[in-house]
Amino acid sequence: MGRQTRTFAWLVFIPAILLNSLGLVTLLSRDPVLFYQQAIFTAVGLGLFWLFYHIDFELYQYLYKFFYVGAILFLLMAFLGPNVRGATRWIDLGGFRIQPSEIIKPFFLITLASLLVRYPPTKIKFILYHLGLFGLPFLIIYKQPDLGNAIVYAGMWLFSVVLAGMPVWFLVLGGGVLGGLLPFGYRLLHEYQRQRILTFLNPLSDPRGTGYNAIQAMIAVGSGQWFGRGFGKGTQSLLNFLPEQHTDFIFAAFSEEFGFIGALVLLAIFFIFLWKVLRLTNLRQDRQLAFLYSAGFFTQLFIHVIINVGMNLGLVPITGITLPFISYGGSSLISLWIGLGILFSADFEPHQAASRG
């Protein structure tokens, strides 16, 4: 483990802290209560980051069975939780609401990476094996229903198996089969999910119904103009025209207050963050487990940013995906910091820490 890799890993930490801080500032302008709750989640997340950073990365490859079984049981527990607007994605614990599909993401990634190292997807039987292991959590998340996170998990899995050596011909064949099944897949979507797709194609078809969220988000982004309306002065947000302004549409709320320049700065920090994670991934190509986990983590972040910003700008259908470190939510934030802790642990050398102690 070279000094260059360890140093580069810590450069990833700087934009992560900046993004978390901007998220707190944005929430403070929305609601001080949300700000204080998110500050607590940040403290818990940083504590867990430090804990997982100090766990020997090589141990994870021996724990993947426990992670997988635990993740499936945790996902199933959500069906016993509260039903919120037709979805059962959460578990209530002592006044806090936990979303299992968010919490297990880093453990899913390390399990996936461990299995791909043990069973490289270069043979049909191993590809089918990986497909089956992925299909179970994917179907559970989809049935909650949580299409947004189902898309994220599918992206993480697909990118990882391709990097692990899945033949190109199988990828092309799979893409052709999925393309042929697309019309049938549309029928499997819930009614509200089909409406979101239709609204994306023509938001003005139902401006006060299914198109309302997308239209209000685009109005909020545009009303910020160059330099924004100022901290806590976004009219779309203050007057509650903008829905889910602290979660799904927080980018629109941020853009309204800080304008095009502020949004550009935020996206620049995201670009730096993603670029450094990608560079770190490239430095680990000689260590397959660390390489595959890092690549999966990058994919997770990339999908979240692209879809969330895209739906705020009306470029993609609304799927309810949060903006990393910015959106309110303890499960998402804590999961991100755990994921970063595991990412950094690949370059942590326990014997050096012991010698310094």
CB 73 within 8 A of CB 83: no
* Cα–Cα distance measured from residue 159 to residue 278, given in angstroms and rounded to the nearest whole number: 13
Query: What pLDDT, on the 0 to 100 scale, is given for residue 283?
Result: 87
Query: pLDDT higher for 149 or 318?
Result: 149
Share above pLDDT 90 across residues of the chain, in percent, rounded to a whole number: 54
Candidates 64, 300, 46, 329; CA nearest to 160 is 300
Query: What pLDDT, on the 0 to 100 scale, is given for residue 318?
Result: 80
Is 308 domain-assigned?
A: yes
- Name the band, by pLDDT with cuts 50, 70 and 90, for residue 346: confident
Is 180 domain-assigned?
A: yes
Cα-based angle 343, 349, 353 (whole degrees, multiple of 5): 115
Domain tally, the chain? 1
* Cα–Cα distance measured from residue 1 to residue 287, given in angstroms and rounded to the nearest whole number: 9
Average of per-residue pLDDT across 113-137: 93
Query: What pLDDT, on the 0 to 100 scale, is given for residue 257?
Result: 92
Is 67 domain-assigned?
A: yes
Is 33 domain-assigned?
A: yes
Q: Is 98 helix (H, G, I), strand (E, B) or coil?
A: strand
Average of per-residue pLDDT across 137-166: 92
Residue 275 reports pLDDT greater than 60: yes
Average of per-residue pLDDT across 95-120: 93
Is 357 domain-assigned?
A: no
Most confident of the ranges 57-61, 113-117, 167-171? 113-117
Is 355 domain-assigned?
A: no
Query: What pLDDT, on the 0 to 100 scale, is given for residue 319?
Result: 82
Q: Which domain holds residue 27?
A: 3-349
* Cα–Cα distance measured from residue 281 to residue 296, given in angstroms and rounded to the nearest whole number: 9
Is 174 domain-assigned?
A: yes
Tokens of 62: 């021996």
Give pLDDT tens digits for 62-95: 899 999 999 999 999 999 888 887 788 999 887 7
Tokens of 221: 């982004």
Q: How many helices (H) and strands (E) does the chain have?
A: 15, 2
- Name the band, by pLDDT with cuts 50, 70 and 90, for residue 33: very high
Least confident range from 29-38, 147-156, 338-347, 348-357: namely 348-357
Give pLDDT tens digits for 179-237: 666 666 656 666 666 666 666 555 655 566 566 777 788 888 888 788 888 877 777 77
Query: What pLDDT, on the 0 to 100 scale, is given for residue 103?
Result: 95
- Find all residues with CB under 8 Å of 130, minimum gap 6, and list them: 115, 116, 119, 121, 157, 161
Least confident range from 219-233, 284-298, 308-322: namely 219-233
Share above pLDDT 70 across residues of the chain, in percent, rounded to a whole number: 84
Is 26 domain-assigned?
A: yes
Query: What pLDDT, on the 0 to 100 scale, is given for residue 355?
Result: 36
- Name the band, by pLDDT with cuts 50, 70 and 90, for residue 349: low
CB 214 within 8 A of CB 318: yes
CA distances from 176 to 22, 119, 144, 171 (A): 42, 25, 28, 9
